[in-house]
Structure 1
């Protein structure tokens, strides 16, 4: 293996690491925000399910590998130049790296598309296949968050109707906080400290809601928690299934590398990135978009997992980020707790991802060639 190919492999590992840091927590964000499980437990579940999806992608969605190798977007002779691949990967990786540092959940798919566009335009100008870019990449990326929001609202009202017919009601718990006050009294001979305490009633939010009634002797709250946990795992699995082939696809340009074997390397790098650097994006996804209870979290995850898995099997490169944020935002609309300022900041980061990745990758290509 020559030095250029080694640099490309290291660049793909760097991209995988940053993908994991930015993306891996998105499936379990609802588990953490609804206080179903702790941050560490949610992260472990995200890592395990993402690796499972990555492994399955070896057998199920290899067509996505070809889409992200650049074939069809630029002339084949350009693909033979490893500098093209290196520029695309590093441009996307740096874009994701900077977004993760400021806690913004952006799309690796978006960054890769922007990098392919930047290097392609600089290299071949009008020889770039704009039609394929629009059909295979842009349309799925734009449509997926909108569909996710619509489906989240539909499923929410459907599940809410079923819950009411089953006689399951939501109850809010009251939080009592014991507050201690120390008072000091003083006279000519002695100082005395008296400790007084009182109970403070805190305000409730949606995370304080629990589901009443039992079904077949099992608490309905436990049933919802179980399916919420499973749905979060399904999102992690779908993310690994959809994202891993995209990142590894660029390695098809190196004929000496076994793409199936390298999918394992991508999966491991994604897991390590998530374990080490997921905290900031996790906080944004879990606490800054909307509040939700376990049932609403389950609904958001169900929509995300269905859409991303369906897209993977149809070779559509949707963004798990876009779908997940769209689903959570849809829930925020119906429970009237969505933070529109944060949503606008996230959408702005999505808009900027494409040109930033395009500019960075184009500069790298111009310097290296």
Structure 2
């Protein structure tokens, strides 16, 4: 059964990767600053870096998700408890990824813990701890994320529009005077030219270095997307790795590596449907709005990860995308948002149902 627990935890990690890995770089792909595979590759690398860093930077979450605060410690330490929680959460997240719905793995875990806890100890489950420590941060973060993205987006749109108008390079070329019969008479004073790199090269001009404003915008988009992915790996890895503690099969470092690699593989194989929802269906993304959403998400998720708060990257990212879209007048696609919010509402009870059924089946 110990081997089954390891496989089930890795399955949960893989489904987490399929549902969550692309969320950090949705702003990069949605603004069409990079292709799908480039965006996903960047997300995979930075998520794995966050997973490995969680060993040193997110120990509070490792302790929080053993289930010991929800049920008696001796119950949480039992192998069937961890196996049922991992399986219940994994099935829930896998179904959501298959449907293209970006849900919270944290919600799925909390739901599975609740369902298994009720089966194991009945009314002894500490639901007060559940609401204060887990559900409150999860419910508050999408609302909190809307405002900063809404305020940042107009300013960043002006900044990116200005960057688009900036010439790619400046160069100097000597002005040549030619006689009527085609003979060069003399070379005049150098003339400054500003334009694209191709335009400068076509006249054989000497380039003068200048900052690449469009490159700076692209770099900030990649940086914010990478920061979100890193923070998500930092935040989610210990929640999943904590389920391996009852068997102590792997130490903290090995658990984080195994979970991180499973998340990477799951993202590469199964991220496409959630990627389309996050990048294209919630709202129309331009470079400025994408940058506002990315910066907001990276700041909030990163702060929560270092503070040991179990926030959902999904909730923060969707809230930031909505705030960015509203600020531009583009708004959000209401049927899509309704479906996403509904999936959030049912994640906890569905996770609880699958967790309880698995615990009952395990006997």
Provide the TM-score with structure 1 as the length reference.
0.83
Q: What is the Cα deviation at residue 160 of structure 1?
A: 5.1
Q: Using the alignment, how far apart are the partners of 1:114 and 1:80 within structure 2?
A: 18
Residues 1:60 and 2:57 are matched in the alignment: yes
Residues 1:90 and 2:84 are matched in the alignment: no
Structure 1 segment 212-291 matched on structure 2, within 5 A: 217-291=210-284
The 8 Å contact of residues 164 and 214 in structure 2, kept in 1 or not, is answered as no
Q: Using the alignment, how far apart are the partners of 2:249 and 2:240 within structure 1?
A: 17
Q: Using the alignment, how far apart are the partners of 2:218 and 2:163 within structure 1?
A: 15
- Residue 121 (structure 2) aligned to one of 124, 134, 157: 124
After TM superposition, the structure 1 stretch with the greater mean CA deviation from structure 2, 117-126 or 352-361, is 117-126
Residues 1:294 and 2:287 are matched in the alignment: yes
Give the structure 1 partner of residue 130 of structure 2.
133
Give the structure 1 partner of residue 349 of structure 2.
355
Q: What is the Cα deviation at residue 217 of structure 1?
A: 2.7
Distance 1:169 1:358, change over 3 A: same
Structure 1 segment 1-369 matched on structure 2, within 5 A: 4-159=1-156, 163=159, 168=162, 217-337=210-330, 338-369=332-363
Q: What is the Cα deviation at residue 77 of structure 1?
A: 2.2
Q: Using the alignment, how far apart are the partners of 1:270 and 1:315 within structure 2?
A: 20
Q: What is the Cα deviation at residue 170 of structure 1?
A: 6.8
The 8 Å contact of residues 89 and 112 in structure 2, kept in 1 or not, is answered as yes
Q: What is the Cα deviation at residue 226 of structure 1?
A: 1.4
The 8 Å contact of residues 12 and 89 in structure 1, kept in 2 or not, is answered as yes
Flag structure 2 segments of 5+ consecutive residues without an equivalent: 166-208
Q: What is the Cα deviation at residue 256 of structure 1?
A: 4.2
Deviations 1:261-308 (A, max 9, x none): 111000000000000111111111111001111121111111111111
Q: What is the Cα deviation at residue 79 of structure 1?
A: 1.9
Q: Using the alignment, how far apart are the partners of 1:227 and 1:312 within structure 2?
A: 21
Deviating beyond 3 angstroms after TM superposition, the runs of 4 or more aligned structure 1 residues are: 157-161
Distance 1:367 1:156, change over 3 A: same
Deviations 1:11-54 (A, max 9, x none): 00000000000100011111111110110100110000001111
Q: What is the Cα deviation at residue 315 of structure 1?
A: 0.7
Q: Using the alignment, how far apart are the partners of 2:244 and 2:329 within structure 1?
A: 45
Provide the alpha-carbon RMSD of the alignment: 1.6
After TM superposition, the structure 1 stretch with the greater mean CA deviation from structure 2, 74-83 or 109-118, is 74-83
Q: What is the Cα deviation at residue 258 of structure 1?
A: 1.1
Deviations 1:217-259 (A, max 9, x none): 3343222111111111111111111011111011122234312
Q: Using the alignment, how far apart are the partners of 1:275 and 1:157 within structure 2?
A: 34
Q: Using the alignment, how far apart are the partners of 1:260 and 1:63 within structure 2?
A: 15
Flag structure 1 segments of 5+ consecutive residues without an equivalent: 172-215
Q: Using the alignment, how far apart are the partners of 2:143 and 2:317 within structure 1?
A: 11
Distance 1:169 1:31, change over 3 A: closer
Q: Using the alignment, how far apart are the partners of 1:219 and 1:292 within structure 2?
A: 22
Q: Which has the higher helix share?
A: 2
Give the structure 1 partner of residue 171 of structure 2.
none
The 8 Å contact of residues 54 and 263 in structure 1, kept in 2 or not, is answered as yes
